[in-house]
Structure 1
Amino acid sequence: MRHSPISLADVEAAVARLAPHLTPTPVRQYPRLDADIGHGITVFVKHENHHPTQSFKIRNGLNAVLGRSAPERARGCIGASTGNHGLGIAYAGRLTGTPITVCVPVGNNPEKNAAIRALGATLIEAGARYDETIAECRRLQEAQGLALLHSTNDPLVVAGAGTMTLEYLRQAPELDALILALGGGSQSVGALTVAAALRPSLKVYAVGATGAPAQYESWRRGERLEGQASDTFAEGIATGSAYAFTFDALREGLAGFVQVTDEAMRAAIRDLLRYTGNLAEGAGAAGLAGLRVLAPQLAGQRVGIVMCGGNLSLAELRRTMDTP
């Protein structure tokens, strides 16, 4: 892919770094889910929620920390997150003895905050929106001389995300399409890079939240938007900007991009719990919500979705289960 910011070799190097620390997550099929989706579609579900931090972003965080030099790790690393990236780098910090600071928005998912602290990271709440949190993170990074672990604009992060698709294709080489939640774009760009090198016929679709349209509108207009409004319970895709490192690859490579409502993601959480016995967070259910939109045009195909995160707060679980 012409505009990919990483290569297949970068992804393979990430596989080598992660292999001693992570086991492959399962890919499963659920006949009741196939029947529900209809259109002759065979659905494959990759359970990234089975990682130690219940999210694919452990791949990103571990690769970002393990790929840093020893002096950088000794000084410490910092990142901004709504939770799952923070959990990934906190886990990596505990594994390697690297001091980690994680900046999160004020009012962030309390369970994610507690889990980050439990892994030994310093957690700082700053900013009402994620973009404001990033600004504070950069200020602290410069003031304290820390290594910045950006959740998107980092080749090690995106290469770590790419290991998921490389693993997925080895487990389910027959896939025709892959539908992925899109926040910053590491998961999608990793997938596009792997697909371009190994399975050019594989189509990659993105799913965003209607309440956080910055990435979708950037893709639709062909220009990178920043500082846009964001209002969705799915914090993993509550993105107010498109990012320089991933934008060109997304614009060039995606086969399509759909938006889904919070209500559709809540329905998908309930469906995934019903059919798979697994609890997804909002972003973790976005793939299924997007598949419902895309199903007519994917009729008869073998489609992969990813339960990319399972860190739903108790408060959001109650709201989701109480919704008709």
Structure 2
Amino acid sequence: MTTFPETPAQRVPLPISYADVLAAGERLRPYFDPSPVRHYPQLDELVGYGIRVLVKHENHLPTGSFKVRNGTASITALSPEEAARGVIAATTGNHGLGLAWAGAARGVSVTICVPTGNNPEKNAGIRALGATLIEVGERYDDTVAACRAIAERERRTIVHSTNHRPVIAGAGTMSDEFLTQAPELDALVIALGGGSQAVGALAVADARKASLAVYAVQSQEAPAQHDAWHDGEARQGAPVRTFAEGIATGSTYALTFPALRAGLRDFVLASEAMIAQSVRDLWRITHNLPEGAGAAGLAGLRLLAPQLAGKTVGVVMCGGNLDAERAAHILLGGMPHFPSGTGEFLTVR
């Protein structure tokens, strides 16, 4: 098992190896091209401190999110017997879209369970890709329970959005591509939900460029992973109130938390206002419209800028699936509402 250094005297295990990332990359290669990396001088000016900002446009991938990497890596890792039985997942959006897309591409049956009242645009996208969508449970925990029951009854493989090694390996292909496209990278600032992107980046950095620093950002209204990283205490089911669905995480996860705690250089919290402003800034400068999670990396970089003065720093536009109503509200200068009438949103994607 690959390890990475926290200090020269301490090493901890990662849940995947760089060989796993390379294998996932080979499996993904027939399905879609690498996402582009672009430099926008106006972002350098916005961030300041002499930082050169590079943007990895995962929003240009099929389904508009890096999650298609995770879904495709998972679907293509199935044995013939598992593929014949199909897969199932509980999700609220991008993870389900990624699995649905990959299932359609490989001819694997996909069932996606979402909470009642889930984002109708994401539901429509999942259905359009041919997956079976089941709306069940007022709360995400209820959706997960229903997903497990269906999986047992139908003998489907559960593909968790975080606690699944092929998912993490698939996410790692993003950083592997990024470093190939921009070997001069000094640091990555990654929006953190479950942690698959960040842990994938740590595995890549360990193998290819030990000096590459990986930073994480979460919303002040969804601070569970951030707080756990700082105090070392795992979290489970903490309420969150962020509009950024992709990082609306109330828990830590067994496969990612130890690696995150030991491997991240720093972990910061951005306000909802900062994330919304980053959506506006990225639209204005890049003419790409990110969802909240897709803009959080820029928000985090602005907080971390004094630490990263003079460096070349990558941020990831990890998703562009902002629904039309919320997009209009944000671009007009408003603050979006968190996506639940109960005030709680307890899942990752």
Same fold (TM over 0.5): yes
Partner of residue 323, structure 1: 333
Of the candidates 154, 162, 166, which is equivalent to residue 144 of structure 1? 154
Q: Is residue 59 from structure 1 mapped to residue 69 from structure 2 by the alignment?
A: yes
**1:178 match: secondary structure:** strand
**1:310 match: secondary structure:** coil
Of the candidates 237, 251, 276, which is equivalent to residue 241 of structure 1? 251
Partner of residue 227, structure 1: 237
The amino acid that maps onto 1:10 is: D
**1:16 match: secondary structure:** helix
Report if aligned partners of 1:3, 1:252 keep a CA contact under 8 Å in 2. no
Partner of residue 80, structure 2: 70
Aligned mates of 2:259, 2:100 — CA distance in 1: 28
Partner of residue 343, structure 2: none
Task: Give the deviation of 1:130 after TM superposition.
Answer: 3.5
Aligned mates of 1:134, 1:267 — CA distance in 2: 33
Aligned mates of 2:189, 2:104 — CA distance in 1: 32
Root-mean-square deviation over aligned CA pairs: 1.1
Q: Is residue 312 from structure 1 mapped to residue 340 from structure 2 by the alignment?
A: no
Change (3 A) 1:130 1:204: farther
1:47-78 CA deviation, whole Å, 9 max, x = no partner?
00000110001000001011011111111100
Partner of residue 225, structure 2: 215
Partner of residue 278, structure 1: 288
Q: State how 1:168-317 maps to structure 2 within 5 Å.
A: 168-317=178-327
- Identical residues among aligned pairs (%): 59
Task: Give the deviation of 1:129 after TM superposition.
Answer: 4.1
1:202-250 CA deviation, whole Å, 9 max, x = no partner?
0000111111111111111112110110111111111111000111000
Change (3 A) 1:184 1:130: farther
Partner of residue 164, structure 1: 174
Q: Give the structure-1-normalised TM-score.
A: 0.97
Q: State how 1:22-171 maps to structure 2 within 5 Å.
A: 22-171=32-181
Change (3 A) 1:181 1:132: farther
Q: Give the structure-2-normalised TM-score.
A: 0.91
Flag structure 2 segments of 5+ consecutive residues without an equivalent: 5-11, 335-349
Aligned mates of 1:226, 1:306 — CA distance in 2: 26
Change (3 A) 1:149 1:286: same
Aligned mates of 1:135, 1:316 — CA distance in 2: 30
The count of residues paired between Structure 1 and Structure 2 equals: 324
Task: Give the deviation of 1:143 after TM superposition.
Answer: 2.5
Aligned mates of 1:240, 1:135 — CA distance in 2: 17
Aligned mates of 2:172, 2:140 — CA distance in 1: 24
**1:124 match: secondary structure:** strand
Between stretches 197-206 and 259-268, larger displacement belongs to 259-268
Flag structure 1 segments of 5+ consecutive residues without an equivalent: none
